[in-house]
Amino acid sequence: MKRSSSSSTIAATLRQELERYAPGERLPSSRSLVERFAVSPVTVSRALAALAAEGLVITRPGAGAYRAHHGVVDTQAVDTSWQQIALTAEDQQHADPAPRIVDAACVFASLAVPPAGMIAFNGGYLHPSLQPQQALSAAFARAVRRPDAWERPPLDGLAGLRSWFAREVGGPGGGVIPSQVLVTGGGQAALTTSLQALAPPGSPVLVESPTYPGLLAAARAAGLRPVPVPVDDGGVRVDLLADAFATTGARVFYCQPLFHNPTGVVLAPDRRRRVTEIAHAAGAFVVEDDFARRLGHGGQLPPPLVADDAYGAVVHISSLTKPASPNLRVGALVARGPVMERLRAIQVVDSFFVPRPLQEAALELVGTPVWPRHLRTIASALEERREAMLAALRRYLPDVAATVRAPAGGYHLWLRLPDGADETALTAALLRADVAVSPGRPYFAAEAPAPHIRLSFADIAGTDEITEGIHRIATVFHTAGLATAL
């Protein structure tokens, strides 16, 4: 099934045809392209704009589009070899034990728009058909009509939005108050702010193993040393967590207690209090990434760790991006005590504040009856897609299906591959079959104990596409000798 927009398809076609035109030669008129592709003038304009952004064409208002001359852009060779030294050299008098490693390959992969025909089992956001796009448009329209929509917001965030996050995180017991909430530009921004606030460069940070690759990338980019603590069916191993604090002297533990990425597990009830107790005893903080709270498949959810935190040890991250749209980059940090002032200061230094129109639109969205209805809709849709993926695995890859945990929320399955399987080769073979998956290696801070792949069912048009994607995976598995029989 094609996932790209028609403008992308037109741009791809014209890109292939550019060799027919001499540099400076005029391309067909917009009107002729509209007739040829049977699309709107806006779609053609977007396609030409994409080619212009690549430097392949030049658009002249009122005159049309022309193939760019070779050499329009200054391509003079510049020797940048010195940068390899400048970006890695350390001041020997102030050398950090963990030099910064800025590797965002795994993040780029999850954010990339899949090409036409690709079944994207590696996505991290809801498919457009599951996003509340009409409600978002209406919310933004109402937000920008407010008299103060373009005034600077309070640095901590709009009072109404902070109050909403406080109620959402603290629950009916009122365990969180608005002054303990800092509005952020999404969950990833909150995560990087937390790392900068809590861990000095060169220090260790404890992480679940496996864990979210975006956290590992952010930690290494900040010069931190991720130290893995194994996860089992009940979440992080608290006995090993205590040992890790004692061994490393770490002052931060990052975790995802609810619908953990990538395993999908929920932290066991008897471990919840132990996590905060162990961190408090070590004089450390727990960074709780609650990214999937609004992606449950139905049923009662445990409260966030921060709601029951008796020590002020938990720094909580919440976000509206996952359940709404990748463009609604609004989240919150919740913390108690002096650490909030440091979080606030770092955010101000990094980005000043979250734009007011974005905050106003988020507040408009969550304050309407549409929002709870939308959450019920995506809960049902994600459960349906999860069941479709499990059913397809049982049909086409029964041996693999037998090892898969069915998560009660979130948007992905974690597949254990046979020992000796080559994740890199398998991922490349699946791409050739027009299926994109997430290899397991980037989810581990150290050596992976076994090969895995992660399959997301969020960024998928429907159950038929899921079934077809698993069938393609099974075909590749059998070609590679990783499964017994179809």
- Its CATH architecture, for the domain 133-366, is 3-Layer(aba) Sandwich (3.40)
pLDDT at 172 over 80: no
Report pLDDT for 38. 87
**pLDDT tens by residue, 419-467:** 888 999 999 999 999 999 999 999 999 999 999 999 999 999 999 999 9
Write out pLDDT tens, residues 23-80.
Answer: 888 889 888 888 888 888 888 888 888 888 888 888 877 778 888 875 444 445 566 5
Closest C-alpha to 206, from 286, 316, 264: 286
Quick one: pLDDT at residue 483?
Answer: 65
pLDDT at 227 over 80: yes
Higher pLDDT, 265 or 113: 265
- Residue 98: pLDDT band by 50, 70, 90 thresholds? low
| Per-residue pLDDT, 321 | 95
pTM of the model: 0.81
pLDDT in tens, 235-280: 999 999 999 999 999 999 999 999 999 999 999 999 999 999 999 9
**Which of 96 and 187 is assigned the larger pLDDT?**
187
Q: Report the pLDDT value the prediction gives residue 20, as an integer from 0 to 100.
A: 85
Identify the pLDDT of residue 104.
66
Q: Read off the pLDDT of each residue in 312-326 and give the average, rounded to a whole number.
A: 95
Q: What angle do CA 248, 249, 250 make, to 5 degrees?
A: 90
pLDDT score for 319? 96
Rounded Cα distance between 457 and 459, Å, is: 6
Reported as a pLDDT band with limits 50, 70 and 90, residue 1 is very low
User: Thinking of the domain 6-67, which architecture would CATH place it in?
Assistant: Orthogonal Bundle (1.10)
Supply the pLDDT for residue 74: 44
What's the pLDDT score for residue 384?
97
Helices 356-366 and 370-396 cross at an angle (nearest 10°) of 80
In the predicted structure, residue 88 carries a pLDDT above the cut 70: no
Percent of the chain at pLDDT above 90? 66
Type of residue found at 329: R
- State the DSSP H helix or E strand holding residue 463, giving kind and residue range, or none if neither: helix 463-479
295 touches 378 (CB < 8 A): yes
Q: What's the pLDDT band for 143 if we cut at 50, 70, 90?
A: very high
Q: How confident is the model at residue 8 (pLDDT cuts 50, 70, 90)?
A: confident
pLDDT exceeds 70 at position 81: no
State yes or no: pLDDT of 91 exceeds 50: no
Number of Cβ within a 10 Å radius of residue 271: 17
Inform me whether the pLDDT recorded for 181 exceeds 70: yes
CATH 3.40.50.261 assigned to domain 110-130+372-479? The reply is no
Tell me, yes or no, if the two domains 6-67 and 133-366 fold the same way: no
Contacts of 346 (CB under 8 A, 6+ apart): 193, 196, 197
pLDDT of residue 122: 93
**223 in Cβ contact with 100 (< 8 Å):** yes
CA atoms of 336 and 344, how far apart (whole Å): 12
**Where along the chain do its domains lie?**
6-67, 110-130+372-479, 133-366
Average pLDDT over residues 148-154: 93
Question: Where on the phi/psi map is residue 367: left (φ > 0), alpha (ψ -120 to 50), or beta?
Answer: alpha
The residue to which tokens 């000796």 are assigned: 420
Q: What is the pLDDT of residue 270?
A: 95
Token look-up 């005590």 returns 337
- Give me the residue label for tokens 């945990």: 405
